[in-house]
Structure 1
Amino acid sequence: MDAAVGPASQTALVVMGVAGAGKSTLAAALAERLDAVFVEADDLHSVEAKAQMAAGMPLTDEDRWPWLARVAARARDERVEGRAVVVSCSALKRSYREFLTRVSGTELAFVHVHGTESQLAERIGARAGHFMPASMLTSQLATLEPLSADEHGFVVALELPVVDAVDRTLDYLKRNA
């Protein structure tokens, strides 16, 4: 565990981005390094939302708010119990990120894993067993609102080796504690 940003840290991390960016891989590696709880937001989608996405139909904001509330509640619950938490969640819009921060009641730092459309499409095509089809990438990219300069977070390139992305995230947290 990295003592500077471990369980005593007041910051919870949200690894964000579109499908195929490697959010879950990076979030799990960060959680392991920080001795933190890893929360996979995809697991908190309703059965109906997963079926809708699997059918190639994008979720609407109305579909997403209950899911985002479950994600925020889980982050809040972990922090209330004194545990560090790393969440893998698309968090595509600024309003979603603001909602997650407000409802979780904790400071969130966002790590946006970003790549080109072709990189993302290749990654989505290579993964098996996920409910999100490659056809959904276009709608996710259209929905994506990159982090603004006034948001607590930074961008990491998806082609970075995971260990380097973890190190950059920890460096960011130390500099912005």
Structure 2
Amino acid sequence: MTMLRFFAKGADLLAGAAAILAGISLLFITAVILIDVIGRYFGSPFYGARDLVQMAAVIVVFGGMAYADRNGGHIQVDILEQVFSPGLNRVLTAAGYMIGAVVFALIGWNMWAAAEMSALLNMSTNLLNLPRGPFEQITSILAWATALCLVERVLDRVFGAKGAK
């Protein structure tokens, strides 16, 4: 197995794991909202539902990013694709993926710093006092996973079979 295929397989596994985590979080959100709505009907809403939904929603969003990238789910504008040469299109596409990788790496780095600050200041959610740091660390890891998946796409675009297109 070539190094590019090995890296692509690792990116697929990483994106799949992130998607599973996002899916579990989405099911959790659905259950919390369902319990809250039923509880409201009977005059007893689910205390802390908003805190739980907010924290889980972050995992849903960032967990789905790597999976969306692996499946071509991110928005791509191809208005000028017919105007440029295939080589220039390949370079521009790789540059776009690299910019995305840098942005997600910076998001991950900033979220990790925020997690450290949250731990230092004992920051927590409003109602349930859930510590924010672990959720920010998970967000950071998921952002780095997306950055790695985008780096794999850069390598594939430049050196792989897709790069020949």
Q: TM-score range by the shorter chain?
A: under 0.3
Computing the radius of gyration from Cα coordinates, the structure with the larger value is 2
TM-score, normalised to structure 2, is 0.27
Higher helix share: 2
TM-score, normalised to structure 1, is 0.26
Higher strand share: 1
